Amino acid sequence: MNARLKPFDSPVAAKSLKHIIAAGNALKESTLPLATQELVRIRASQINGCAGCLDMHTKEAAHAGESAVRINLVATWREATVFTDAERAALELTEQGTRIADAAGGVPDEVWANAAKYYDDDQLAALVCAIAVINTFNRLNVIVQQPAGDYQVGMHG
Closest by Cα among 79, 75, 29 to 54 = 75
Q: Domains of the chain (ranges plus CATH)?
A: 34-144 (1.20.1290.10)
CA 139 to chain centre: 12
DSSP 154: T
- Contact yes or no for 153/59 (Cβ under 8 A): yes
Closest by Cα among 71, 120, 112 to 89 = 112
Beta strands in 14-153 (DSSP E): none
| Angle, helix 121-144 to helix 11-26, in steps of 10 degrees | 150
Q: What is the pLDDT of residue 99?
A: 93
Residue ranges of the alpha helices (H) in the chain? 11-26, 34-48, 51-63, 68-73, 85-98, 109-118, 121-144
How does pLDDT run along the chain (157 residues), one tens digit per residue? 787 778 778 888 889 989 998 999 899 899 999 999 999 999 999 999 999 999 999 999 999 999 999 999 999 999 999 999 999 999 999 999 999 988 777 899 999 999 999 999 999 999 999 999 999 999 999 998 888 878 788 777 6
